[in-house]
Amino acid sequence: MTESIMPNVHKSILRLLRDWVSLCPNDFYYNTQTRRELVEFLNRVSMLGDNYRWLVEEIRSLADIDVSHHITKEDSNFVIADN
């Protein structure tokens, strides 16, 4: 099993994002555009390895984002939808 090594700058960015979600959850809960971008970002970052996935899961938990969440476009408004 190969362990991914996370550069300090990546770790700092993910910790900053984690702290932001923790301190200001409404920024991500009520703003659908920001939430959509967060979901997309976390989905991409989680593929970088176990160390990334661990922090991503923590951020998802704080932002109340389930892994099954995806974004759909309805009536020109972005909404979070469950599958």
Does the global pTM surpass 0.95? no
What does the domain layout of the chain look like in residue ranges? 8-81
Which single residue is written with the structure tokens 């009520």? 30
Q: Is the pLDDT of residue 70 over 80?
A: no
Tell me, what's the pLDDT at 69?
52
The sign of the dihedral angle between the CA atoms of 1, 15, 68, 39 is: negative
Taking only the tens place, the pLDDT of each residue in 4-49 is: 688 999 999 999 999 999 999 888 888 889 999 999 999 999 999 9
CA distance 10 to 16: 10
Strand partners, 71: 80
Asked if residues 14 and 55 have their Cβ atoms less than 8 Å apart, the reply is: yes
What's the rounded mean pLDDT across residues 48-61? 93
